[in-house]
């Protein structure tokens, strides 16, 4: 199958985990009813994005949130790229995306590799690594349509990781993310566009809606970008679901007409996964 519909649920995340999960379920059901075949949630969709809440709401896998996603995937016969949740292991927390197929089976998970430790003076300071540990693996999952690369938020700022996913065969890159009202207006749209163009992939960036009652003000503006750099679908800061068609023939056409991946000078430089 060369085409499929992808849906991004821009959820308004609150401090009430039960409400977040109910909202995720309702939006996934709605996305399915509108023809979504691959449904994407935002970064940390079950908890506010701050270190205290993430520590409190961290869950083992399997747990409440991942069980819900798995059973919805099976019940609705859809793929779910489950945004991310704070994942608790024996002695660590990771920021992890769990990915389920139509049978509700886990087909991959990505632990955020680049942690958001930043200090933009007078605007935003965040130190995710105070509580979250570093993921160690590049994640590309196989679906019945194509290979899909999955990374989380700050990961998308690292072109090497995005390129590695393309070199591993990804034709779509999905990034659950939560840029904010400082870095969002400055860099969100440009980063999405350039990663799509560089790697000639559909680039799907899924944000939570902006919650001004939360300590972290997510930017919103979830976006689906084509491999030619065209906006397929986007929204603003409020809760919403966006839909876009992924056309794999179009990926092939763009890659054939402008063969960026083939024209790399691998005799002069290279990119290797350690
Ligand atoms: O890179 C950014 O500007 C935002 C990153 C972020 O919020 C995150 O990694 O969760």
Q: Which residue's CA is minimally distant from atom 4 of ligand 1?
A: 179
How many helices, marked H, and strands, marked E, lie in the chain? Answer: 7, 15
Contacting residues for 235 by C-beta, under 8 A, at least 6 apart: 10, 220, 221, 222, 223, 242
Distance 74 CA to ligand 1 centre (A): 31
Paired tokens of 94? 């990771």
Q: Which residue's CA is minimally distant from atom 7 of ligand 1?
A: 179
Contacting residues for 269 by C-beta, under 8 A, at least 6 apart: none
pLDDT given for residue 110 in this prediction: 98
Q: Alpha-carbon distance 229 to 55, whole Å? A: 37
Which positions are catalytic?
43, 112, 153
Interface pTM (ipTM) of the complex?
0.97
Paired tokens of 74? 């099976």
155 lines ligand 1 (CB under 6 A): no
pLDDT given for residue 274 in this prediction: 87
Q: What is the pTM of this model?
A: 0.98
Burial 104-138 (b: 16+ CB within 10 A, else e): bebbbbbbbbbbbeeeeeeeeebebeebbbebeeb
CB 141 within 8 A of CB 147: yes
pLDDT given for residue 76 in this prediction: 98
Q: Which atom of ligand 1 is nearest to the CA of 183?
A: 3
DSSP, collapsed to helix, strand or coil, labels residue 204 as strand
Q: Which residue's CA is minimally distant from atom 1 of ligand 1?
A: 154
115 lines ligand 1 (CB under 6 A): no
Which residues in the chain belong to E strands, given as ranges? 3-10, 38-40, 79-81, 85-88, 93-100, 106-111, 117-120, 124-127, 140-142, 147-150, 170-176, 202-206, 223-225, 231-234, 240-247
Instruction: For residue range 8-23, list pLDDT tens digits in order.
Output: 999 999 999 999 999 9
Distance 178 CA to ligand 1 centre (A): 6
Domains of the chain: 3-257 (3.60.110.10)
Instruction: For residue range 81-119, list pLDDT tens digits in order.
Output: 999 999 999 999 999 999 999 999 999 999 999 999 999
Distance 152 CA to ligand 1 centre (A): 9
Distance 179 CA to ligand 1 centre (A): 5
Q: Which atom of ligand 1 is nearest to the CA of 188?
A: 3
Residues of the chain with pLDDT under 50: none
């Amino acid at each position: 199958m060369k085409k499929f519909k992808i849906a991004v649920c821009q959820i308004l995340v609150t401090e009430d985990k039960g409400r977040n999960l109910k909202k995720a379920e309702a939006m996934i059901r709605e996305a399915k009813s509108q023809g979504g075949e691959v449904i994407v949630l935002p970064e940390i969709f079950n908890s506010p994005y701050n270190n205290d809440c993430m520590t409190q709401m961290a869950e083992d896998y399997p747990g409440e949130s991942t069980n819900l996603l798995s059973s919805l995937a099976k019940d609705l016969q859809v793929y779910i790229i489950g945004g991310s949740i704070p994942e608790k292991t024996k002695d660590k927390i990771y920021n992890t995306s769990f990915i389920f197929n139509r049978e509700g089976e886990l087909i991959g998970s990505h632990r955020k590799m680049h942690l958001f430790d930043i200090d933009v003076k007078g605007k935003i300071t965040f130190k995710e690594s105070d509580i979250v540990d570093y993921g160690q693996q590049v994640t590309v999952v196989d679906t019945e349509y194509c290979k899909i690369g999955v990374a989380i938020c700050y990961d998308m700022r690292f072109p090497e990781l995005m390129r590695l996913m393309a070199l591993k065969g990804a034709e779509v890159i999905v990034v659950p993310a939560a840029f904010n009202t400082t870095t969002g207006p400055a860099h969100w749209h440009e980063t999405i566009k350039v990663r799509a163009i560089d790697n000639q992939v559909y680039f799907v960036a899924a944000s939570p809606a902006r919650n001004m009652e939360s300590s972290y003000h997510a930017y919103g503006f979830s976006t689906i970008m084509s491999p030619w750099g065209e906006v397929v679908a986007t929204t603003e800061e409020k809760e919403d679901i966006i839909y876009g068609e992924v056309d794999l023939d179009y990926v092939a056409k763009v890659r054939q007409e402008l063969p960026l991946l083939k024209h790399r000078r691998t005799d002069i430089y290279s990119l290797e996964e350690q």
